[in-house]
Structure 1
Amino acid sequence: MSIRRACAVLRAERSSYHYRGCRPDQAGLKQRIKEIATTRVRYGYRRITVLLRREGWGVNGKRIYRL
């Protein structure tokens, strides 16, 4: 059964079928990035990413750069 037909039978919008939820709040991660940035001023986002990964955070360099 196609997505279009299934949504029609259930009277649901196709956009709600493909809905992607929002990311969880990154307040803890932002706080940790600020702590690292203040103690190690010369570190860029790449080195901060490595430190966070060693601490067990599941982060990507692009996310650190964005935050």
Structure 2
Amino acid sequence: MLENGLARHADAPAVQRVPALVYLAELRMRTGDRDGAVAVLADVEAMELTPGDREAPDTVLATAAELTADLRP
């Protein structure tokens, strides 16, 4: 359902997509889809966020950083 929503709203601003993508990455990691989680987190990292955008989802970006660190070999 989350993937469908992201696909349906692919034109949504990055600041709105980031929380959903980080949640998707966490779900993938918890269900054993390590490669899928890595791919989603790479997408998050590649997103162009303004400095203001980076302040708004501060805890979300912190979660993304934690997940990324957990997934490193």
**TM score, norm. by length of structure 2:** 0.29
- Which structure has the larger Rg? 1
- The structure whose residues are more often helix, as a share, is 2
Larger relative contact order (Cα-Cα within 8 Å, sequence gap ≥ 6): 2
Return the TM-score normalized by structure 1.
0.31
